[in-house]
Structure formats: C-alpha cells, structure tokens
Amino acid sequence: MEMINLTIDHKPVVVRKGTTVLKAASSIGIDIPTLCYMKLDDMNIENKPGGCRVCVVEVKGRRNLAPACCTEATEGMEISTHTIRVVNARRTVVELILSDHPADCLICAKSGNCELQDMAHHLGIRQIHYEGAKSMYREDTSPAIIRDINKCIMCRRCETMCNDVQTVGVLSAINRGFNAVVAPAFEMNLDHSVCTYCGQCVAVCPTGALTEVDQTGAVIRALSDPTKTVIVQTAPAVRAALGEEFGMPAGTLVTGKMVAALRRLGFDYVFDTDFAADLTILEEGTELLNRLSAFMEGDKNVKLPILTSCCPAWVKFFEHSFPELKDIPSTARSPQQMFGSIAKTYFADKINVKRENLVVVSIMPCLAKKYESSRPEFSVNGNPDVDYALTTRELAHLINLGNIEFKSLPNEEFDAPLGESTGAAVIFGTTGGVIEAAVRTAYEIFTGKPLPRIDFEELRGMDGLRKATIDFNGTPIHIGIAHGLGNARKLLEDIQAGHSEFHAIEIMSCPGGCIGGGGQPYHHGNAEILKKRQRAIYSEDRNKILRKSHENPYIVKLYEEFLGAPMSEKAHHLLHTKYFDRS
Amino acid sequence: MTISYQLKRVDFIFKNENDWEDVLSKSISRTPQELINELISSELKGRGGAGFPTGLKWKLSSEEGDDTKYVICNADEGEPGTFKDREILSRVPFKVLTSMAVCGHVIGAKEGYIYLRGEYFFLQPELNKAISEFEYYCKEINLDFKIRIFMGSGAYICGEETALFESMEGKRGEPRNKPPYPSSYGYMGKPTVINNVETLAHTFTIFKYGAKRFYDLGVQYSRGSKLFSVSGDTPKPGIYELELGMSLADFVDEFGDGDTKAVQVGGASGFLVPRKRFNETAIGFQGKLTGISLPTGGSMMLFNSSRSMFNVLDNYLEFFREESCGQCTPCRVGCQQLLSGIKAVKRGEKNAQYLDKLMRLAETMQYTAKCGLGQSVANSFSSIVENFREEMIY
C-alpha cells in the first residue's frame, strides 16, 4: 500500500494513496465543513459531486481553491483549511445559496434539523450581501412526499440515493444554469412517476426541499373527536430510534416510554404492529411451506423463490419495474395492513365499535406506508383499514405538542390483545429480520421439531446482498437477503434470467431495513447510528421470552376465534392481497 | 485591401488538403516518439482557448498503459463569436481526420469521435461522406482506426472536455472534478486525447511541413498561426488566419471601423480590452511579452462608440446564467446574482458601491467554481465593469 505524506494546517499527516483531503484532515482531527458531501460507511453509499464548494481549501501552488471532499491527497501537498481566502469563499458560497433560498426557517418543516441552517450558523452569516432572483418552482405533493423545490440546493444526495442506491431513477438534475434543479423528468409530479416512496431522498435531504406529508393535524383532530375510538400501532423500528428525537443516544430502546407517551396523547388502545408481524409470519411462512412442499412433490408450476412483501416501496418497485414477476412475491399483506384489517373487523367487533368510528393510526419508520395505507384495495367502502400513517419524526412532534416530558416517562406495556408480540416480530425492523423470523416458524412447522437454536447469525449483518443456507432437518433451504432496491434489482434480474438459486428472498427498500427508513430521525450521513439501532432491535429480541411467532398466545387465539387457520379463506380475504402491473 | 505590416496573414489551414493520404501514410510510418517530439518542438498549444501544449497532451496519453483509448475532436464550437471550426470542418475535413488517425497511432487508440455542435447538424452529411472516404483509405493502408460523429444537443457547457465526455456517455452534460485529467481518465474512463478542431488542423500542417515551419511563425511562447473569427462593428467580418503575438492596436487598425471603443477577446468568457489598452495588449498565450497577453479561442468582437457596454455585459451574463450547468453554487447562483446586481445598479435600486461587491463575487467565482465556465465569468465581468463603470451606473 503506497503511502502519501502531506501537511494540513502545518501538521504532517500520512495517508494511504487514494485518500481525499477531507478524510486526511479528519484523521488528524481537522474538521472541514461540508454540505453536499455524504458518505454512509460500510454501505457503499457516497455522494461527492463537488458541487456546493463549501469544503474548499487552499492547496499550495494552485491558483484556485480545491474541494476537499473530492481532491485526492498527493505527495508533498500543503493544505490550508482556513485561510482568509478560504473562509471568505465559504461564506460567499453559503450566502449565494441563501440568496436563492426561501428564508422561511421559522415555519420550515426542517427547522432545527437543517444542514444549511447549521452551516449558516457555523459560518456566522448575518447578512446576505448578494441579492437577486430566487427560484420559483411549484410544490409537488404526493401521497407520501412533498417536494418544495425552491429549497433545493443541488447537493444531489437524493439523486445518488434514487439512482445509484435504489436504481429507481426518478430524481435527477433537470434544466440548466440558474434553473437547474433536481426533479422527476419533465418536471412531472412524483405520483405520476415510478417513485416507490421509499423516502431515502427525504432521509438524506439536507434542507426542507424533500419532506414527508404531515398527517399529525388529522390525527389530533381524530383524537379530539369524542365519537371516534382511536387506536395506534407502532412498527418495530420506531422504538429503536424515537429516543434520538429527544436527545437520547442512538440505539436506546424506548418501547415502554413510547407506549406511555401514546397513552398520554389520548389513544384509546396502544397496540403493536409486532402483533401483526407475528401474524404475517404465520401467513407468509405457511405460504412458503406450501410452495416448497408442492415444489418438492414435483409441481412444475410452483413459483419459487418466494419474496417477502412487507415493504410497500419494494412492492411498488416490482409493480413498476418487474411486473412479469408479480406472482412471485408472497401475497401476504404487510404487517401494517394486516393490523388494520384485523383491527377493523375482529377487534371492532370485540369492542363493539362500528368500522367508521374506529380510527387506526400507525407509527412507522417509513414514508411508503403513507402511500400503502392509501391504496384502494386496502379499504372497505371508502373506509381505509389504516387511516393515518405517521413517521417516527411526526410522532416526536406530537409528543412535543402534547407537552410530554418523554425522557422521564415510566415504561408501560402495550394493550391486549393486539399488543402482544414475540422476538421474531421485533426483528422485522432490520434487514434480515423478516426472513429470520420466518425461518424460526417454518422450521418448526416443516420439521415438527423444536429449533436447536434461535439466533441465525448467518442472516444478519449490513452487507447489501447476503445469502445463507439453512438446514431444515436434511433439506437445505437457500435464502437470499437484499436491502436497498439496487441490490434487490440484482436478485430480480437473476430470477428473470432463470438462474436464481434461492427458495426465499427477503427484500427491504431502505439501506439497513426499516431502521434506516425514510421516516426515521435524520442520520445526517452517520452510518453508525443505523448500526446502533440494529443492535437495539436484536437486544429487544433476545430479552423476549417468546421468540417465535407461532408461540404468540394471542395469535393462536385469533386463529381459533376468528380466522380458522393460516391461508384459510377468511385469512385470504383479510390478510392477503394482489399486485398490479404498473409498468 | 490594405494589409498591416505588423499583422501577418498566413494561409496554412485552408490550403489544399489533397495530399492528406500522403501525409497520413508517411506519418504513421514514423514512430510515436518521433511524432510526439515533432509536436513538442513545434510548441503548438491548444487552439480551443485554454492553450495546453498539444505535444504534451499526446505524450501523457501515450504513456498510459490501457488497451482502450480514444481520440476526440472537440467540435462543440459554442463560444459566442467563434465560427472557425465550422469552416475547417466544411472546407478541409481531411486534415482533421488525418490528424485524429495519426493521434490514434501515437497513443494507441483505434476509435475516434467528432463531438459536433448540435447546431452544426447541416455539416453531418458531408462530414460522414468524408469519413467513409477516409476509412476506405485507412483500410487500404491497413490502418485500424474508426471515426464516428457524436451530435451534441446544444449545451455550451458540453464544450468543456469532461462535460463533453459525460454527454457522450449519455449523462447530463456536467464537468467532472479534475484531476483526474482526460489523458488518464477521459471518455468511458479511458485515456483520451481531446483536441479542438483547429488544433488538429495545425497538427496536419506540422506533420506535413515539419515543426520548424510552424515554430517560425508567431512569437516566443505563442508559436504558429491561429484562426480569428472577427465580428461586431467591423467592415470586414470573417475568418482570418494570423500569426500570434500581434498587438491589439494593429488588429484594430486592420479590422476596426475607425471608431472602435473596445474589443472582446476570446468571446463571452474572455476579456474586454478598452481602447486605451490596445497598444499594450498582445494576442497570444501568457509569456514574457510586453504588456498584457491574452489567450483566445479566436473570437474577436469589436464594439464602436454606439454600443452600450452595459448591454454587452448584460448579454454575456444572460448567456452564462442560461448556459451554466447548474452544478456548482458559485456559477449557478453567482451568474444570476451578478446579472440581477448590474440591473439593480442600473435602475438605481442599488448604489454604485454595489458594483464593488459584485467584483468581489466575480473574483470568488474565479477561484471556487468547479470548471472553466464559472471560473472565467469574472474575466468579462471584471474587465467591463472596471473599464466602463460609468456605463454600468448611468
């Protein structure tokens, strides 16, 4: 490995060849401010267009300043990171961005979480010397994402996520010069595009240009309506991240406090999407076993591999890009929708409330869940199974609005019956979790024997594409896992070409799975946060007494009292769905 | 027509190209090293405007150890006020094709592209004919070199070499971060020589007559001749091949209308020279000439006293505002705010001191913008505002 010697602010530093000036500087504790640059370590995600020009530094011997994020360190380089010329250039650049920015910070959805705001503060900008035109683009509202493109600073992070990581290709720079902006082709609306609403663009946007559709107002109205019974379900990944919004360290599990907060907000019942995740495992696991045994009995028409269908962005992705594969994914609805369906039938009957008067709110780490709940097939006579899907961030806003001191809340338990869950359901929140949960149940049903071990380390991790073979008592089951739609695309292309080796594949749209969802607290490019959330999820699983979905007593009861058996006709009607060709 | 003594007309570029077959077969029988040495000793510098030594460019690419390399002829002639490449390609296309093939021989490339400006679509049929004739001859002499035309779509920025590569690769035309330079990482990430049309026409001359013939023209640091596209307030607009190193005063004597107030050297991204500086300004590359020496892609726009320099600058800034790729902040927003700024001063909404702020902004753009476009806006802005400040205000 060739090593490079250089000096940064007169301090000598030795780095590997190929290291950028930015990285070399940070290795000796010199922080060069950046704005457009973003890197998620270990996930192969990097955005460095060298566009914002905030990270410029002085390189001795060069006439112009060089962007530290994309300038490679070379032998003998002498870098100065804060000469008067550099500081003035940085300030001018940020002033220019602000001169073309609607300065509505006080009421901006991103206020307090905005990297541009932080940068302006960091550089002490108190006046914008250069005034002039401001971009005037229209707002674009979709079921999940709002684009307020006047706030776009052309950092291109969303473009990197949408094109390089997700390979969806909706967002890219259009127009030239001052009018250049990131938008769908021909400035069409997001809901006319092939956008999957995965929300990774929102997750990385440094400003308020891309935000979620805010449904907190509607939820508050429902909560204050005495004629409505309002129940809430919380997705597994939420509890591993919500604490961050209240200043708790990343990876703090706040399940009990979250339940307490929701109860104080006035929800009549606080339930858990994890309950529905256990239900999903029974339906999806049974479907997998049915297909597997049919396949082993020589049925040529059986479709394998089976693909998970919990992730609504992934569902929309294959409906657009791989419609010919639409009979391969499991027909099981996602946990959110299973919950809504059961809540508005089984549970509504139980508490004797009419469907119209029961409001189901879900708390999700996800933006696509907003879209999913609005899909027409998930409603009965115009009444949706899930009325509102809030993000983790929106829940934090609600808690703040409710004057609730989150950190000092006691730990409380979910309500019965839809609040009970097993460890298998909790790990739905991270990549590999759904398939691990499915393996735990499918193994026992298939072999009729208890699992020799519960933790399947071979299915865990952060690699974008993983595979493992699980021994089902002599029958090897090949399992594939992808997170990030770009990785999913590779597996799907293999299936299309007919050389997929897998029996079952788990696909999650977001890097890291739901813990890295578009509705989670902003990670601002720090991949370490995602890993801590993942660890928190696994620790919750380990601390559960019941860790296999089919052992959930309330699930057993639900089948006994209401559904009959997995894949029964009633289960089909309420818990399964079909997919559409959207190409 | 009177010819100034100081202004030396030359006639190489458009001279008969009928012996191209001879030049090609003789050149490729020489070793790459010989050809590179010939080019280096001619001191030919790039004629697109930036003036990078052509021999060195070829040498760097020839030293790259890659099986696939490319030769690209930059015919995206988009600088306001230049129209010479169009003439070269329509009148002496074989000179350009020959030089591309020789370059392929030197660096080890088997494919060449002509990136043709979108508006020059009408050149395509004739050029394609020339290419097939050329390739037929290549086959005859067993030279494996193919040339294709790639049509641009009308973006000025795609004349910037790395934006040109992006455009050819089917992406949005945006300049890349440099380094790496095209000689090692160009089209498709492969070592690439990219030369202006005129540069290639000159290399033909050099291979035909030898380096000395070329070197003897011009002055120190600015050797050879160059095509100038003369336009504006002149009685004889057109294309002229002149020796480098002439003083602007002599140029104006020849081409001015007797009332020349200023000359814009090098198009919108070049410099405006007011009358009082004509004598001390020479046309050529930076060197130890007396006074200022201005490089140029060959655009010479003359303005007489009837012209408002405010309108000239306004026009340039409108152009940059539209033609910036929009990628980097200084250029995307800077061009717009310079434009808004001079308008505000003109309307009296801002006081005259605001011009000083704008000058500082232009200077910052010069050393922070990502590519040559954003960096060069300050050239015309500062030279116009500095010399015609009162026209900006009143």
Q: For this structure, is A420 an active site residue?
A: no
Q: How many CB pairs lie under 8 A apart between chains A and B?
A: 119
How many Cβ atoms from other residues are within 10 Å of residue A526's Cβ?
Answer: 15
Q: For this structure, is A570 an active site residue?
A: no
Give yes or no for B344 touching A (CB within 8 A).
yes
Nearest to A49 among B155, B327, B367 (CB): B327
Q: Tens digits of per-residue pLDDT, A228-252?
A: 999 999 999 999 999 999 999 999 9
The pair phi, psi for residue A474, each rounded to 5°, is 100, -20
A160 to A201, B165, B325: CA distances (angstroms): 9, 20, 18
Give yes or no for B166 touching A (CB within 8 A).
no
Contacts of A96 in chain B (CB under 8 A): 329-330, 333-334, 337, 361
Give yes or no for B382 touching A (CB within 8 A).
no
Nearest CA in chain B to A68: B177
Dig out the tokens for A513 from the structure: 């799975």
Q: For this structure, is A377 an active site residue?
A: yes
pLDDT band at A43 (very low <50, low <70, confident <90, very high): confident
B90 to A141, B14, B18, B94, B120: CA distances (angstroms): 52, 10, 14, 10, 10
Pick the more confident residue, B49 or B255: B255
Rounded to the nearest angstrom, the minimum Cα separation between A154 and chain B is 7
Kind and range of the H or E run holding A390: strand A388-391
Q: Say if the Cβ atoms of A64 and B375 lie within 8 Å.
A: yes
Q: Say if the Cβ atoms of A92 and B364 lie within 8 Å.
A: yes
Dig out the tokens for B196 from the structure: 């202006």
The pair phi, psi for residue A577, each rounded to 5°, is -145, 180
Looking at residue A498, what is its pLDDT? 87
Residue B91 Cα to chain centre, angstroms: 19
Q: In sequence order, which residues have a C-beta less than 8 Å from that of residue B21 and are 6 or more positions away? A: B137
CA dist A415 and A272 (Å) reads 8
Q: Judge whether residue B220 has pLDDT over 80.
A: yes
A113 to A121, A242, A521: CA distances (angstroms): 13, 15, 9
Nearest CA in chain B to A178: B332
Rounded to the nearest angstrom, the minimum Cα separation between B28 and chain A is 37
Per DSSP, the residues of A480-497 read EEEESHHHHHHHHHHHHH
Nearest CA in chain B to A56: B368
The proportion of chain B whose per-residue pLDDT surpasses 70, expressed as a percent, equals 96
Rounded to the nearest angstrom, the minimum Cα separation between A34 and chain B is 13
> Candidates 3.40.50.720, 3.10.310.30, 3.30.70.20, 2.40.40.20; correct CATH number of A115-212?
3.30.70.20
Dig out the tokens for A122 from the structure: 């960091």
Nearest to B368 among A71, A89, A132 (CB): A89
> Candidates 3.40.50.970, 3.40.50.1980, 3.30.930.10, 3.40.950.10; correct CATH number of A278-334+420-575?
3.40.950.10
Domain boundaries, given as residue ranges, for chain B: 20-215, 218-304, 309-393
Tokens 């597996």: give the residue.
A491
Nearest CA in chain B to A135: B333
Q: For this structure, is A405 an active site residue?
A: no
CA dist B255 and A391 (Å) reads 70
SS3 at position A434:
helix
Burial B82-120 (b: 16+ CB within 10 A, else e): bbbbbbbbeebbbbbbbbbbbbbbbbbbbbbbbbbbeeb
Q: Judge whether residue B185 has pLDDT over 50.
A: yes
Give yes or no for B235 touching A (CB within 8 A).
no
Q: Judge whether residue B1 has pLDDT over 60.
A: no
Q: In sequence order, which residues have a C-beta less than 8 Å from that of residue B50 and are 6 or more positions away? A: B295, B372
Q: Tens digits of per-residue pLDDT, A335-373?
A: 999 999 999 999 999 999 999 999 999 999 999 999 999
Q: Classify B218-304 by CATH class.
A: alpha beta
CA dist B102 and B21 (Å) reads 12
The proportion of chain A whose per-residue pLDDT surpasses 90, expressed as a percent, equals 92
CA dist B293 and B247 (Å) reads 9
Question: pTM of the full predicted structure?
Answer: 0.93
Q: Judge whether residue A533 has pLDDT over 70.
A: yes
Looking at residue A296, what is its pLDDT? 86
Nearest to B361 among A92, A173, A176 (CB): A92
Q: In sequence order, which residues have a C-beta less than 8 Å from that of residue B334 and are 6 or more positions away? A: A96, A130, B361, B362, B364, B365, B369, B374, B377
Mean pLDDT computed over B334-361 = 96
Question: Where does B246-370 have alpha helices with state H?
Answer: 248-255, 309-323, 329-347, 354-368
Q: Tens digits of per-residue pLDDT, A165-222?
A: 999 999 999 999 999 999 999 999 999 999 999 999 999 999 999 999 999 999 999 9
CA dist B275 and B262 (Å) reads 5
Mean pLDDT computed over A531-538 = 96
Rounded to the nearest angstrom, the minimum Cα separation between B182 and chain A is 16
Looking at residue B285, what is its pLDDT? 78
Q: For this structure, is A114 an active site residue?
A: no
Give yes or no for B353 touching A (CB within 8 A).
no
Q: Tens digits of per-residue pLDDT, A98-145?
A: 999 998 999 999 999 999 999 999 999 999 999 889 988 888 999 999
Give yes or no for A153 touching B (CB within 8 A).
yes
Which of B153, B174, B345, B368 is the best residue to mutate to test the A interface, defined by the most A CB atoms within 10 Å of its own CB?
B368
pLDDT band at B6 (very low <50, low <70, confident <90, very high): low
Q: Say if the Cβ atoms of A133 and B340 lie within 8 Å.
A: yes
Give yes or no for B5 touching A (CB within 8 A).
no
pLDDT band at B290 (very low <50, low <70, confident <90, very high): very low
Contacts of B325 in chain A (CB under 8 A): 176-177, 180
Q: Say if the Cβ atoms of B326 and A176 lie within 8 Å.
A: yes
Considering only CA atoms, which of B388, B316, B380, B303 is closest in space to residue B345? B388
Rounded to the nearest angstrom, the minimum Cα separation between A198 and chain B is 24
Give yes or no for B146 touching A (CB within 8 A).
no
Considering only CA atoms, which of A50, A77, A338, A310 is closest in space to residue B371? A50
Give yes or no for B6 touching A (CB within 8 A).
no
B83 to B237, B251, B385: CA distances (angstroms): 11, 18, 27
The pair phi, psi for residue B9, each rounded to 5°, is -70, 140
Superfamily of domain B20-215: NADH-ubiquinone oxidoreductase 51kDa subunit (3.40.50.11540)
pLDDT band at A582 (very low <50, low <70, confident <90, very high): very high
Q: Say if the Cβ atoms of B367 and A67 lie within 8 Å.
A: no
pLDDT band at B297 (very low <50, low <70, confident <90, very high): confident
CATH number of B309-393: 1.20.1440.230
Give yes or no for A241 touching B (CB within 8 A).
no
Fold of A3-82: Ubiquitin-like (UB roll) (3.10.20)
Give yes or no for B174 touching A (CB within 8 A).
yes
What is the Rg, in whole angstroms, of the alpha carbon atoms belonging to chain B?
21
Q: Judge whether residue B289 has pLDDT over 60.
A: no
How many Cβ atoms from other residues are within 10 Å of residue A402's Cβ?
Answer: 15
Rounded to the nearest angstrom, the minimum Cα separation between B245 and chain A is 25
Rounded to the nearest angstrom, the minimum Cα separation between A175 and chain B is 8
DSSP, res A415 = P
Q: For this structure, is A284 an active site residue?
A: yes
Nearest CA in chain B to A20: B179
Q: Say if the Cβ atoms of B336 and A154 lie within 8 Å.
A: no
Domain boundaries, given as residue ranges, for chain A: 3-82, 115-212, 278-334+420-575
Nearest CA in chain A to B360: A92
Which of A58, A283, A284, A436 is the catalytic position?
A: A284
Give yes or no for B369 touching A (CB within 8 A).
yes
Contacts of B326 in chain A (CB under 8 A): 154, 173, 175-181
Q: For this structure, is A172 an active site residue?
A: no
Q: Say if the Cβ atoms of B332 and A154 lie within 8 Å.
A: yes
CA dist B359 and B262 (Å) reads 20
Q: For this structure, is A369 an active site residue?
A: yes
Contacts of A179 in chain B (CB under 8 A): 326
Q: Say if the Cβ atoms of B327 and A51 lie within 8 Å.
A: yes
Q: Tens digits of per-residue pLDDT, B21-80?
A: 999 999 999 999 999 999 999 999 999 888 899 999 999 999 999 999 999 999 999 999
Q: Tens digits of per-residue pLDDT, B370-384?
A: 999 999 999 999 999
Rounded to the nearest angstrom, the minimum Cα separation between B49 and chain A is 18
Q: Say if the Cβ atoms of B326 and A179 lie within 8 Å.
A: yes
Pick the more confident residue, A381 or B2: A381
